[in-house]
Amino acid sequence: MGISVSPLDPADQATLDAVYRTAVAAQAVDEPDLPPLCRRRFEAPLRHPMPGVDTRWWVARLDGVPAGWLRLYLHTLDNTDNASVELVVDPAHRRRGVGRALHEHGLRLLRERGGKRLVGSTVSPLPGEEGRELPGAAFAAAVGAKPALADVRRRLDVTALDRPRLAGLLAGARTAAAGYRTVRWSNRTPEEYVADVAYLEGRLLVDAPLGDLEWEQEKVDAERIRGTERALDARGVRRYNVGAVHEASGRLVAWSMVSLAANTTWHAWQQITIVDPAHRGHRLGLLTKIENLDHALAHEPELRVIDTFNAAANNHMIAINEQLGYRPAAGSTDWQLTI
Ligand SMILES: CC(C)(COP(=O)(O)OP(=O)(O)OC[C@H]1O[C@@H](n2cnc3c(N)ncnc32)[C@H](O)[C@@H]1OP(=O)(O)O)[C@@H](O)C(=O)NCCC(=O)NCCS
């Protein structure tokens, strides 16, 4: 029978179950230190898409058995020439051409739509890990993608926080941040800050190093923030936020968010931390991050680990993270294939 590729039918529960199992099996091999993939999050693109993302999902069968899957995320509000890609093959069925068949399928769709590039990420070696077998990186290179941005995933061991050191950093940050006050919220952004949050979110990709990735500024407004919040609520993602308000203007000018997937109480992701360029140099990044750690822990007493991704060249953010105790856990590369 060989390899066949077909669109995932959302009503086909048996295939959905099988595809989820391949995703869990792959993650256990490729990123074993992460919690199991959350099923609600995995299936959410079918019924609760993120605003501005049109997801196409295909399944590959090897001799009739689901062996891998591909998701193309077509961007509809900005970056419309780009598609982000997730491509996963069950470890039991690798090196038999399934990955290549899925990739060619996605490429065909993108070409038909006049798309220009595919962007995806893989695990890559940290210094000292050069001999490690990393199938994603080998595959990306084999299909002609170019490494566009080097990232590092860093991990904070929350059970081993250096609390006196954090208290000292926090006190220093509060002194440097005279004229700003912090505010906290969970999940839904307070109405009074949603426009500022949209502005900050939209800046992220302008301010963070992008290497050779061709990615334009995202168009984020309050409505998109609300749509994203609804999509995250549908996934059961719990979010903890701290912002810094500039007292003279009343504007929220810095913001940091931590989130947990619905299926875990021990693992969180440090998501965005951003300070408006006009308000840098007051340690607002450090301030919001440390206060948010306290905020998240107050609600998540079982939290043991927080992971975060940074571009390897993002020296300012990495310096803050290292001060807090984050240490490298895995390398990651964003690949770009121009078609
Ligand atoms: C990357 C992945 C999708 C490859 O799936 P696959 O079905 O094994 O891929 P294929 O059999 O089609 O391999 C195509 C080519 O990629 C390269 N390749 C794939 N895995 C490799 C490995 N472990 N070592 C070296 N080269 C490899 C080879 O050149 C291979 O051709 P060959 O077998 O003729 O030498 C799979 O390993 C996987 O799911 N990894 C985790 C997720 C990931 O990183 N996805 C990719 C980016 S989104």
Domain boundaries, the chain: 3-115, 155-332
Residue-wise pLDDT for 15-59, tens only, equals 999 999 999 999 999 999 999 999 999 999 999 999 999 999 999
Looking at ligand 1, which residue's alpha carbon is closest to its atom 4? Answer: 99
Length of the chain measured in residues: 339
What's the fold here for domain 3-115?
A: Aminopeptidase (3.40.630)
Give mean pLDDT, residues 62-80. 96
Looking at ligand 1, which residue's alpha carbon is closest to its atom 35? Answer: 95
The rounded mean pLDDT for the chain is 96
Percentage of the chain surpassing pLDDT 90?
Answer: 94
Give mean pLDDT, residues 161-167. 96
Residue-wise pLDDT for 263-295, tens only, equals 999 999 999 999 999 999 999 999 999 999 999
What pTM value is reported for the model? 0.95
Three-state DSSP state, 117: strand
Percentage of the chain surpassing pLDDT 70?
Answer: 100
Q: What is the architecture, at CATH level 2, of domain 155-332? A: 3-Layer(aba) Sandwich (3.40)
Are the folds of 3-115 and 155-332 the same?
Answer: yes
Residue-wise pLDDT for 124-146, tens only, equals 999 888 888 899 999 999 999 99
Residue 31 beta carbon below 6 angstroms from any ligand 1 atom: no
Residue 233 beta carbon below 6 angstroms from any ligand 1 atom: no
Structure tokens given for 204: 């992220």
Structure tokens given for 105: 């399928």
Residue 171 beta carbon below 6 angstroms from any ligand 1 atom: no
**Closest listed residue to residue 269, CA positions, set 237, 229, 233:** 237
Question: Which long-range contacts link 319-323 to residues 24+ away (Cβ below 8 Å)?
Answer: 320/273, 320/285, 320/286, 320/289, 321/154, 321/156, 321/270, 322/154, 323/169, 323/286
Q: What is the atom index within ligand 1 of the atom nearest the CA of 67?
A: 7
205 pLDDT exceeds 80?
Answer: no
